[in-house]
Amino acid sequence: MNHLEIVLDTQADLGEGPVWDQRSQQLAWVDIMAHRLNFFDPSTGATQSFDTGAPVGAAVPCASGGYVLALQTGFAHLDTTNGRVEPIACYDGACSEIRMNDGKCDAQGRFWAGTMAFDFRPAAGALYRLDTGPRVSTMLPGVTISNGLDWTLDGRSMYYIDSPTNRIDLFDFDPHSGAIANRRTFVEIDSAAGTPDGMTVDSAGNLWVALWGGSAVRCYSNQGELIRVAEVPASQVTSCSFGGPDLTDLYITSARGGLTPKQLEREPHAGGLFRVRLSTSGRPAHSFAG
Protein backbone atom coordinates (compact mmCIF):
# COMPACT_ATOMS: atom_id res chain seq x y z
CA MET A 1 0.00 0.00 0.00
CA ASN A 2 1.33 3.44 -0.91
CA HIS A 3 2.10 6.14 1.64
CA LEU A 4 -0.92 7.85 3.20
CA GLU A 5 -0.64 11.58 3.93
CA ILE A 6 -2.75 14.13 5.73
CA VAL A 7 -3.91 16.73 3.22
CA LEU A 8 -5.77 19.07 5.57
CA ASP A 9 -5.77 18.97 9.35
CA THR A 10 -9.34 20.22 9.42
CA GLN A 11 -10.26 18.77 12.83
CA ALA A 12 -13.79 18.16 11.55
CA ASP A 13 -16.34 17.10 14.11
CA LEU A 14 -17.94 14.79 11.51
CA GLY A 15 -16.21 14.99 8.13
CA GLU A 16 -18.08 12.99 5.50
CA GLY A 17 -19.07 12.51 1.87
CA PRO A 18 -15.97 13.36 -0.22
CA VAL A 19 -16.74 13.81 -3.92
CA TRP A 20 -14.42 14.89 -6.74
CA ASP A 21 -15.83 17.68 -8.91
CA GLN A 22 -14.59 17.14 -12.48
CA ARG A 23 -15.66 20.66 -13.46
CA SER A 24 -13.47 22.52 -11.00
CA GLN A 25 -10.92 19.76 -10.29
CA GLN A 26 -11.62 20.18 -6.60
CA LEU A 27 -12.62 17.86 -3.79
CA ALA A 28 -15.85 18.65 -1.97
CA TRP A 29 -16.83 17.18 1.40
CA VAL A 30 -19.12 18.03 4.29
CA ASP A 31 -18.75 18.56 8.02
CA ILE A 32 -22.23 17.42 8.97
CA MET A 33 -22.90 19.02 12.34
CA ALA A 34 -20.92 22.18 11.52
CA HIS A 35 -23.31 22.81 8.59
CA ARG A 36 -20.41 23.18 6.17
CA LEU A 37 -19.71 22.20 2.57
CA ASN A 38 -15.95 22.43 2.03
CA PHE A 39 -13.77 22.53 -1.07
CA PHE A 40 -10.07 21.76 -1.58
CA ASP A 41 -8.05 22.53 -4.72
CA PRO A 42 -5.02 20.20 -4.70
CA SER A 43 -3.29 22.17 -7.46
CA THR A 44 -3.06 25.31 -5.30
CA GLY A 45 -3.84 24.13 -1.78
CA ALA A 46 -6.71 26.64 -1.64
CA THR A 47 -9.79 25.90 0.44
CA GLN A 48 -13.30 27.32 0.52
CA SER A 49 -16.29 26.68 2.78
CA PHE A 50 -20.02 27.39 2.61
CA ASP A 51 -22.60 27.50 5.41
CA THR A 52 -25.46 25.15 4.50
CA GLY A 53 -27.76 26.46 7.25
CA ALA A 54 -28.56 23.01 8.69
CA PRO A 55 -26.85 19.65 9.29
CA VAL A 56 -25.75 18.41 5.85
CA GLY A 57 -25.30 14.69 5.26
CA ALA A 58 -24.11 14.78 1.66
CA ALA A 59 -23.59 17.08 -1.32
CA VAL A 60 -23.39 16.27 -5.04
CA PRO A 61 -22.57 18.39 -8.09
CA CYS A 62 -25.60 19.65 -9.97
CA ALA A 63 -25.53 19.48 -13.78
CA SER A 64 -26.99 22.99 -14.03
CA GLY A 65 -24.38 24.41 -11.64
CA GLY A 66 -23.78 24.50 -7.92
CA TYR A 67 -24.51 21.59 -5.58
CA VAL A 68 -27.52 19.67 -4.36
CA LEU A 69 -27.51 19.16 -0.60
CA ALA A 70 -29.08 16.48 1.59
CA LEU A 71 -30.03 18.61 4.59
CA GLN A 72 -31.81 17.70 7.81
CA THR A 73 -34.69 19.86 6.56
CA GLY A 74 -34.80 18.33 3.06
CA PHE A 75 -33.06 18.54 -0.29
CA ALA A 76 -31.75 21.95 -1.32
CA HIS A 77 -29.57 23.67 -3.94
CA LEU A 78 -26.43 25.65 -3.09
CA ASP A 79 -25.38 28.34 -5.55
CA THR A 80 -21.58 28.38 -5.17
CA THR A 81 -21.36 31.82 -6.81
CA ASN A 82 -23.16 33.55 -3.94
CA GLY A 83 -23.65 30.94 -1.20
CA ARG A 84 -27.44 31.04 -1.44
CA VAL A 85 -29.28 27.88 -0.33
CA GLU A 86 -32.73 27.27 -1.86
CA PRO A 87 -35.07 24.39 -0.90
CA ILE A 88 -35.87 21.78 -3.56
CA ALA A 89 -38.04 19.15 -1.87
CA CYS A 90 -38.90 17.72 1.54
CA TYR A 91 -38.80 14.04 2.47
CA ASP A 92 -41.24 11.98 4.51
CA GLY A 93 -40.23 11.82 8.15
CA ALA A 94 -38.31 15.09 8.26
CA CYS A 95 -38.32 16.35 11.85
CA SER A 96 -36.05 17.68 14.58
CA GLU A 97 -35.08 14.16 15.68
CA ILE A 98 -33.90 12.97 12.25
CA ARG A 99 -31.04 14.09 9.99
CA MET A 100 -29.68 13.18 6.59
CA ASN A 101 -26.50 11.13 6.35
CA ASP A 102 -24.60 9.77 3.34
CA GLY A 103 -25.70 10.09 -0.30
CA LYS A 104 -24.67 9.76 -3.96
CA CYS A 105 -26.03 10.12 -7.49
CA ASP A 106 -26.66 7.19 -9.80
CA ALA A 107 -25.65 7.20 -13.48
CA GLN A 108 -29.06 8.54 -14.47
CA GLY A 109 -28.62 11.64 -12.29
CA ARG A 110 -30.93 10.70 -9.42
CA PHE A 111 -29.74 11.65 -5.92
CA TRP A 112 -29.93 8.89 -3.28
CA ALA A 113 -29.54 9.88 0.38
CA GLY A 114 -30.59 8.35 3.68
CA THR A 115 -31.43 9.38 7.20
CA MET A 116 -30.84 8.41 10.81
CA ALA A 117 -32.01 9.52 14.26
CA PHE A 118 -29.77 11.83 16.26
CA ASP A 119 -30.02 9.34 19.15
CA PHE A 120 -29.27 6.36 16.79
CA ARG A 121 -32.74 4.91 17.47
CA PRO A 122 -33.13 1.63 15.55
CA ALA A 123 -35.17 1.67 12.33
CA ALA A 124 -35.95 5.40 12.56
CA GLY A 125 -34.33 6.29 9.23
CA ALA A 126 -34.89 5.54 5.57
CA LEU A 127 -33.23 5.69 2.16
CA TYR A 128 -34.66 8.25 -0.26
CA ARG A 129 -34.32 8.99 -3.97
CA LEU A 130 -34.59 12.51 -5.35
CA ASP A 131 -35.68 12.46 -8.99
CA THR A 132 -35.36 15.40 -11.35
CA GLY A 133 -39.07 16.35 -11.10
CA PRO A 134 -38.21 17.10 -8.33
CA ARG A 135 -39.90 14.19 -6.62
CA VAL A 136 -38.77 12.31 -3.50
CA SER A 137 -39.47 8.59 -3.13
CA THR A 138 -38.93 6.45 -0.03
CA MET A 139 -36.89 3.51 -1.31
CA LEU A 140 -36.05 1.66 1.91
CA PRO A 141 -37.77 2.28 5.28
CA GLY A 142 -36.67 0.96 8.66
CA VAL A 143 -33.01 1.96 8.38
CA THR A 144 -30.95 2.77 11.48
CA ILE A 145 -27.87 4.58 10.08
CA SER A 146 -28.14 4.96 6.32
CA ASN A 147 -24.62 5.13 5.00
CA GLY A 148 -22.42 4.29 1.99
CA LEU A 149 -23.84 3.31 -1.38
CA ASP A 150 -22.59 2.83 -4.94
CA TRP A 151 -23.27 0.83 -8.07
CA THR A 152 -21.59 -2.05 -9.90
CA LEU A 153 -19.78 -1.32 -13.15
CA ASP A 154 -22.69 -2.57 -15.26
CA GLY A 155 -25.16 -0.44 -13.29
CA ARG A 156 -27.44 -3.41 -12.63
CA SER A 157 -26.75 -3.75 -8.89
CA MET A 158 -26.48 -1.33 -5.98
CA TYR A 159 -24.29 -1.72 -2.88
CA TYR A 160 -25.69 -0.30 0.37
CA ILE A 161 -24.67 -0.01 4.02
CA ASP A 162 -26.90 0.33 7.08
CA SER A 163 -24.00 0.62 9.51
CA PRO A 164 -25.27 -1.27 12.61
CA THR A 165 -25.83 -4.40 10.51
CA ASN A 166 -22.03 -4.57 9.95
CA ARG A 167 -22.77 -5.62 6.36
CA ILE A 168 -22.45 -4.42 2.83
CA ASP A 169 -25.69 -5.41 1.13
CA LEU A 170 -26.45 -5.81 -2.57
CA PHE A 171 -29.69 -4.94 -4.39
CA ASP A 172 -30.81 -5.63 -7.92
CA PHE A 173 -31.09 -2.20 -9.57
CA ASP A 174 -33.21 -1.13 -12.52
CA PRO A 175 -31.32 1.74 -14.24
CA HIS A 176 -34.44 2.90 -16.10
CA SER A 177 -36.90 3.11 -13.21
CA GLY A 178 -34.46 3.39 -10.30
CA ALA A 179 -36.19 0.51 -8.50
CA ILE A 180 -34.28 -1.73 -6.08
CA ALA A 181 -35.12 -5.33 -5.14
CA ASN A 182 -33.76 -8.64 -3.83
CA ARG A 183 -31.64 -7.38 -0.93
CA ARG A 184 -28.94 -9.82 0.18
CA THR A 185 -25.63 -9.81 2.07
CA PHE A 186 -22.53 -9.16 -0.02
CA VAL A 187 -19.87 -8.85 2.72
CA GLU A 188 -20.17 -9.18 6.48
CA ILE A 189 -17.53 -7.33 8.51
CA ASP A 190 -16.43 -8.50 11.96
CA SER A 191 -17.38 -5.82 14.49
CA ALA A 192 -13.85 -6.03 15.94
CA ALA A 193 -12.56 -4.53 12.67
CA GLY A 194 -14.89 -1.53 12.87
CA THR A 195 -18.26 -0.50 11.49
CA PRO A 196 -18.75 0.01 7.73
CA ASP A 197 -19.44 3.63 6.86
CA GLY A 198 -18.92 5.42 3.51
CA MET A 199 -17.97 3.54 0.36
CA THR A 200 -16.85 3.93 -3.25
CA VAL A 201 -16.41 1.56 -6.21
CA ASP A 202 -13.28 1.88 -8.37
CA SER A 203 -12.89 1.45 -12.14
CA ALA A 204 -12.07 -2.25 -11.67
CA GLY A 205 -15.26 -2.89 -9.71
CA ASN A 206 -13.61 -3.17 -6.30
CA LEU A 207 -15.26 -1.68 -3.20
CA TRP A 208 -13.38 0.69 -0.88
CA VAL A 209 -15.10 0.87 2.50
CA ALA A 210 -14.32 3.22 5.40
CA LEU A 211 -14.40 1.58 8.84
CA TRP A 212 -15.66 3.74 11.69
CA GLY A 213 -13.74 2.69 14.80
CA GLY A 214 -11.38 0.64 12.66
CA SER A 215 -8.70 3.19 11.66
CA ALA A 216 -8.78 1.85 8.11
CA VAL A 217 -10.26 1.69 4.64
CA ARG A 218 -10.73 -1.85 3.32
CA CYS A 219 -10.84 -2.86 -0.33
CA TYR A 220 -12.99 -5.81 -1.37
CA SER A 221 -13.12 -7.40 -4.80
CA ASN A 222 -16.45 -7.66 -6.61
CA GLN A 223 -16.50 -11.26 -5.35
CA GLY A 224 -16.33 -10.10 -1.73
CA GLU A 225 -12.69 -10.99 -1.12
CA LEU A 226 -10.62 -8.66 1.08
CA ILE A 227 -7.68 -7.62 -1.08
CA ARG A 228 -6.18 -4.44 0.45
CA VAL A 229 -6.19 -2.37 3.63
CA ALA A 230 -5.22 1.29 3.97
CA GLU A 231 -4.49 2.15 7.59
CA VAL A 232 -5.51 5.65 8.71
CA PRO A 233 -4.12 7.54 11.77
CA ALA A 234 -7.64 8.28 12.98
CA SER A 235 -10.07 5.76 14.45
CA GLN A 236 -13.32 7.29 13.18
CA VAL A 237 -12.87 6.89 9.42
CA THR A 238 -16.07 8.00 7.70
CA SER A 239 -15.84 7.79 3.90
CA CYS A 240 -13.60 7.74 0.83
CA SER A 241 -13.65 8.83 -2.80
CA PHE A 242 -11.25 8.90 -5.74
CA GLY A 243 -10.04 12.24 -7.07
CA GLY A 244 -7.18 14.02 -8.78
CA PRO A 245 -6.64 14.57 -12.53
CA ASP A 246 -6.36 10.82 -13.19
CA LEU A 247 -8.68 9.74 -10.34
CA THR A 248 -5.95 7.71 -8.64
CA ASP A 249 -5.90 9.69 -5.38
CA LEU A 250 -8.10 8.11 -2.72
CA TYR A 251 -9.35 10.88 -0.41
CA ILE A 252 -10.46 9.78 3.06
CA THR A 253 -12.55 11.74 5.56
CA SER A 254 -12.64 11.28 9.33
CA ALA A 255 -14.26 12.61 12.52
CA ARG A 256 -13.11 13.75 15.94
CA GLY A 257 -16.50 14.24 17.60
CA GLY A 258 -17.02 12.08 20.68
CA LEU A 259 -13.35 11.27 21.21
CA THR A 260 -11.98 11.74 24.73
CA PRO A 261 -9.00 14.02 25.48
CA LYS A 262 -6.80 10.92 25.84
CA GLN A 263 -7.97 9.56 22.51
CA LEU A 264 -7.27 12.91 20.86
CA GLU A 265 -3.74 12.81 22.26
CA ARG A 266 -3.25 9.51 20.44
CA GLU A 267 -5.04 10.79 17.32
CA PRO A 268 -3.97 14.42 16.85
CA HIS A 269 -5.14 14.40 13.22
CA ALA A 270 -8.60 12.96 13.91
CA GLY A 271 -11.13 14.84 11.80
CA GLY A 272 -8.54 15.42 9.08
CA LEU A 273 -8.69 14.85 5.35
CA PHE A 274 -6.26 12.15 4.18
CA ARG A 275 -5.03 10.98 0.78
CA VAL A 276 -3.26 7.93 -0.60
CA ARG A 277 -2.17 7.56 -4.24
CA LEU A 278 -3.04 4.19 -5.75
CA SER A 279 -2.29 2.23 -8.89
CA THR A 280 -6.01 1.79 -9.51
CA SER A 281 -8.36 4.61 -10.44
CA GLY A 282 -11.85 5.60 -9.47
CA ARG A 283 -14.84 6.55 -11.60
CA PRO A 284 -16.08 10.11 -12.24
CA ALA A 285 -18.81 11.14 -9.83
CA HIS A 286 -22.30 11.48 -11.31
CA SER A 287 -24.07 14.83 -11.08
CA PHE A 288 -27.69 15.48 -10.19
CA ALA A 289 -29.48 15.86 -13.52
CA GLY A 290 -32.15 18.34 -12.40
Query: Would you please indicate which residues are annotated as catalytic (active-site) residues?
Result: 197
Concatenate the DSSP letters of all residues of the chain into one string.
Answer: -PPEEEEE----SSEEEEEEETTTTEEEEEEGGGTEEEEE-TTT--EEEEE-SS-EEEEEEBTTSSEEEEETTEEEEEETTTTEEEEEE--TT-STTEEEEEEEE-TTSPEEEEEEETT--TT-EEEEEEETTTEEEEEEEEESBEEEEEE-TTSSEEEEEEGGG-EEEEEEE-TTT--EEEEEEEEE--GGG-EEEEEEE-TTS-EEEEEETTTEEEEE-TTS-EEEEEE-SSSBEEEEEEESTTS-EEEEEE--TT--HHHHHH-TTTT-EEEEE-SS---PPPPB--
